[in-house]
A and B are shown apart, each in its own frame.
Chain A
């Protein structure tokens, strides 16, 4: 998935918490619906690699970071508010 307008998304979670599980599910649903075939999701469990929390400036859990396309975008929360996710990811204009 290295298309020109592909979305590279990273979701930071901490273990299998309800919020984390909800975020993963919500993200997949949104991507499937609005970015079919144009996205890549990387799920990072900070419990397993806490150093990444420092390197990537993670404070809140869950945190979604849009790595690509530039610029970097951050959304925190379980992504239950689809509207805000779409605005946050620049999928839908504000």
Chain B
């Protein structure tokens, strides 16, 4: 709900606003419709004029304590009550409480003859009576153009209409006058000529068989207003206008973190996860695990006591809950605790704008801390290509503005291919996770790569992405001489590495043993040689000693011989002298 009363400089005259209570419209009109003045609400048949007008009255009565009068030219009160019953408006209760009055004006030309001059004072009296009976502050006149077919005198009618709008102003009621869209004009009978303070145009266009309701504030005298076409939806929860403009880049930047739900991924993001309020794009092929990454995030958000909306575009909530159970994530308990809300809509249900308006409504209603849109690519197909970028931009801005962390998945080809939308969208994203499903060696293996993550250090490595019964595990990629390996190739390579190491160890052991053996062999040889040496030394010693002994013997012998010779010389003189000389 937009601020009902906006602060204005006291010395400047400004017009008061009467809040419609219609989600988004009060933001577009900066507070509501001009208070005490009539507003023209025009559009072709079936674009929601009556519901819009009734919502204005209903909200006025219920939320702003402003009773209202509905002057119906087209529908009987019973029909009207039944019709808006689809929006869960209990009109009968309001009528009983004197907060609402319905007056049906019936005019049928065939039953009325005209004779002479008249005026529409009866209408004024009825309206005045209804206003006074409940103290109405709001009035809806739906659709006064019926009078043109009911009465002959158009000139008189025009002057009476002019008088009616002036009279409404003098009554000080905030009024909505509905009008049927004409050819090339806002209304068929040119009501815009009389009701000039504020003109709102409703539109219902069909594109590719999908209809999209749009609203535009054509003019608003004395007040700034959003000038774009804003998509809106009408469903059982009322009317919601998606007021988002893509102008503001003023959203605050939080330093708070939201865990990704995947411990290994947190580690890749400084160990903390995404920034709060950031936009995360998870893109990958079918079956690469996008929904699983989303579910982890939703699970972690709820586990932290935060609220999360899961916009499911392709799977039913039941199916998601069941599937995520297989990887050990129980989303149902968060749904039961009202922390998680699933919002499942087929993309083909309605156009892109309508989807976004529905999302806007869910978000303003549930006020989540995080949203998951799975997959965003489904939305892309729902819109005309030109609008997609700006609409997604609006959504991203809206979520950022509310500080909501948004995770978008995108079914698409990996970067580098001709995914122009993906590239356009990716520039809006703060974090981009790429999930690959790469084929090698006859198998597909999942990989995760953190392509960008604004404002934080992050790992640049491709990780292997493993889905287990305990959720996602990211394994450090095997980076070896043969490149990055995953899956069985990685297992094989790791086994090979192990084998190589084992072999090398065995080799070393063997060599060590060999060396030991050699050392011992050599030691033995040394021993033998030493023993030989010793034995040789002993022998030599022996010989030496033998030699000495022999010399002694010889000396002894010689002495003995000499002695014996000298004995002979004594008997043979001269000869013995010569013989003695020679023998010396």
Chain A contacts to B: CB under 8 angstroms: 12, 14, 17, 19, 22-23, 26, 46-47, 50-51, 53-54, 57-63, 72-82, 84-85, 87-88
Contacts and interface: CB of A to CB of B under 8 A. Distances in A.
A46 B122 contact: yes
Interface string B98-138: 00000101110001111111111111011011100000000
B151 interface: yes
A88 B122 contact: no
A59 B120 CA distance: 6
A76 B125 contact: no
B105 A57 contact: yes
Contacts of A88: 113, 115
Given A50-B129, A54-B103, A57-B106, A81 B115 contact: yes
B118 A50 contact: no
By secondary structure, the A interface counts as mixed
Nearest to B123: A59
B115 A85 contact: yes
Contacts of B147: 59
Contacts of B105: 57, 59
B129 A77 contact: no
Size bracket of the B interface: 20 to 34
Contacts of A76: 112-115, 118
Contact of B125 (A50, A72, A75): A50
Given A54-B129, A57-B105, 7 more contacts: A53-B126, A59-B122, A60-B121, A62-B118, A77-B116, A81-B115, A87-B113
B120 A77 contact: no
Contacts of A19: 117-119
A77 B117 contact: yes
22 contacts: A12-B122, A14-B125, A22-B116, A47-B125, A50-B125, A53-B126, A54-B103, A54-B126, A57-B106, A58-B126, A59-B107, A60-B121, A73-B113, A74-B111, A76-B113, A77-B114, A78-B116, A78-B117, A80-B116, A80-B117, A84-B113, A88-B113
Interface of B: 103, 105-107, 111-123, 125-126, 128-130, 147, 151
A51 B120 contact: no
A77 B115 contact: yes
Nearest to A83: B115
Contacts of B120: 59-61
Given A57-B105, A59-B105, A76-B118, A46 B113 contact: no
Nearest to A61: B121
A61 B118 contact: yes
Contacts of B123: 59-60
A57 B128 CA distance: 14
Nearest to B112: A74
A73 B115 CA distance: 13
A75 B114 contact: yes
A60 B119 contact: yes
A53 B125 CA distance: 7
Contacts of B119: 19, 60-61
Contacts of B126: 50, 53-54, 58-59
Instruction: Please indicate which of the listed interface residues B115, B119, B128 has the most CB atoms of chain A within 10 Å of its own CB.
Output: B115
Contact of B118 (A51, A78, A87): A78
A58 B112 CA distance: 11
Nearest to B151: A60
B251 to A, nearest CB: 52
B113 A74 contact: yes
Instruction: Please indicate which of the listed interface residues A54, A60, A80 has the most CB atoms of chain B within 10 Å of its own CB.
Output: A60
Contacts of A46: 121-122, 125
Contacts of A57: 105-106
A79 to B, nearest CB: 5
A55 to B, nearest CB: 10
Contacts of A63: 118, 122
Instruction: Please indicate which of the listed interface residues B106, B117, B128, B130 has the most CB atoms of chain A within 10 Å of its own CB.
Output: B117
Contact of B121 (A14, A51, A73): A14
Instruction: Please indicate which of the listed interface residues B112, B116, B120, B126 has the most CB atoms of chain A within 10 Å of its own CB.
Output: B116
Contacts of A78: 115-118
A80 B115 contact: yes
Contact of A77 (B111, B118, B125, B128): B118
Given A59-B105, A59-B107, A53 B114 contact: no
A49 to B, nearest CB: 9
Contact of B122 (A53, A80, A87): A53
B115 A60 contact: no
B337 to A, nearest CB: 52
A79 B116 contact: yes
A58 to B, nearest CB: 4
Contacts of B107: 59
A66 B85 CA distance: 38
Instruction: Please indicate which of the listed interface residues A22, A61, A78, A87 has the most CB atoms of chain B within 10 Å of its own CB.
Output: A61
- 4 nearest A-B residue pairs (beta carbon): A88-B113, A80-B116, A77-B116, A50-B129
Instruction: Please indicate which of the listed interface residues B105, B126, B128 has the most CB atoms of chain A within 10 Å of its own CB.
Output: B126
A8 B130 CA distance: 29
A59 B151 CA distance: 10
Instruction: Please indicate which of the listed interface residues A14, A22, A77 has the most CB atoms of chain B within 10 Å of its own CB.
Output: A77
A73 B112 CA distance: 7
A50 to B, nearest CB: 4
A33 B4 CA distance: 63
Contacts of A51: 129
Nearest to A50: B129
Instruction: Please indicate which of the listed interface residues B111, B113, B123 has the most CB atoms of chain A within 10 Å of its own CB.
Output: B113
Instruction: Please indicate which of the listed interface residues A26, A54, A72, A78 has the most CB atoms of chain B within 10 Å of its own CB.
Output: A54
